[in-house]
Amino acid sequence: MEIRNHTSSTAGFILLGLSSNTQLQKPLFAIFLIMYLVTVVGNVLIILAIRSDSRLHTPMYFFLSNLSFMDICFTTVIVPKMLVNLLSETKSISYVGCLVQMYFFMAFGNTDSYLLASMAIDRLVAICNPFRFDTVMNPRRCLLMLLGSCTISHLHAMLRVLLMSRLSFCASHIIKHFFCDTQPVLKLSCSDTSSSQIVVMTETLAVIVTPFLCILFSYLRIIVTVLRIPSVAGKWKAFSTCGSHLTIVILFYGSVIYVYFRPLSMYSVVKDRVATVMYTVVTPMLNPFIYSLRNKDMKRGLRKLRDRIHS
């Protein structure tokens, strides 16, 4: 295998983390531990509430429950290792461990983006073609959309990791980040990375921009349809069903586009760390709050779950 040919070039990497200031390590550990626990508990509650309430067994909530599960997996790939390194002197990660982390980070992250696109399609059909909603968004089609999202995302992650495994690392092994992301690792390679950068940028455009364009097209159609509704109350009711989803899309894609759609020469360590924290930690943590606080159906489902737990 290719990995075996290149492990001789490096025994592993050092992850610098969020800050090199030793006085900040324990406060950062406490903050991110709390954020991780809130993320896991919040998303588990969303999944349980949807599963326990038959009125939430609709395409939108099917995708939401899977998005919550992916968010748990997504943050679990990053945060536990980051927490260990915050209290560790070495802050090391093995070469294979780095590639594995990179694989699952991209697989779960891309699945998130495709699920957000699936949810946008659900809103498009519900608002623009409500009479055919049950036919178009049937359970079989929803399951196929989920399986397609996972398959494309894992194939993308596999291609990216195979590409990275062909690089040699003979200089610095210090990754100026808190996990193994593509750009920081590419910066360390002593191989010619120009072709790798082109492949990474092209593939990223294909995989990330496709669901983004799908979301954009869906909302343009939704806006056109809603503006034709004569009453203000009707317009507000239609838009209100999209508010939570649109908020998550802006948070997720805003930070992702900032981090990944720039040349390697424009890479900024500090700014990229902040932006990456937004979509790897903050957005998954906020998802349950955004969908529950602004959604009457989810509030009812959570109350029903609470009552069942108490009884």
pLDDT tens, position by position, 191-247: 766 766 777 777 777 777 889 999 999 999 999 998 888 888 878 877 777 888 888
The Cα 33–Cα 285 span in angstroms is: 12
Contact 233/138 with Cβ under 8 angstroms?
no
Phi, psi of 173 (to 5 degrees): -110, 20
Percentage of the chain beyond pLDDT 70 is 90
Let me know if residue 204 belongs to a domain: yes
Let me know if residue 42 belongs to a domain: yes
Contact 13/176 with Cβ under 8 angstroms?
no
The Cα 217–Cα 219 span in angstroms is: 6
Question: What CATH number does residue 244 fall under?
Answer: 1.20.1070.10
Q: Give me the pLDDT at residue 3, please.
A: 40
Let me know if residue 185 belongs to a domain: yes
Contact 287/41 with Cβ under 8 angstroms?
no
Taking the whole predicted model, whether its pTM rises above 0.85 is answered as yes
List, in sequence order, every beta strand (DSSP E) within 190-308: none
- Of 272, 290, 283, whose CA–CA distance to 75 is shortest? 283
The pLDDT tens digits for 287-308 are 888 887 767 778 888 888 888 8
Confidence of residue 251 (pLDDT cuts 50, 70, 90): confident
Average pLDDT, rounded, for the chain: 85
Report whether pLDDT(71) > 90: yes
Alpha-carbon distances, residue 242 vs 9, 12, 56, 247, 260 (angstroms): 50, 45, 16, 9, 26
Let me know if residue 2 belongs to a domain: no
* Helices and strands (H, E) in the chain, number of each type: 13, 3
Q: Give me the pLDDT at residue 304, please.
A: 83
Range(s) of the domain holding residue 116: 21-166+175-310
The Cα 308–Cα 305 span in angstroms is: 5
Let me know if residue 49 belongs to a domain: yes
Let me know if residue 124 belongs to a domain: yes
Q: Give me the pLDDT at residue 206, please.
A: 74
Q: How many domains does the chain have?
A: 1
Average the pLDDT over each of 118-127, 219-228, 273-282 and give the range with the smallest value. Answer: 273-282
Average the pLDDT over each of 97-101, 120-124, 163-167 and give the range with the smallest value. Answer: 163-167
Q: Give me the pLDDT at residue 203, please.
A: 73
The Cα 173–Cα 90 span in angstroms is: 13
Let me know if residue 154 belongs to a domain: yes
Phi, psi of 212 (to 5 degrees): -65, -45
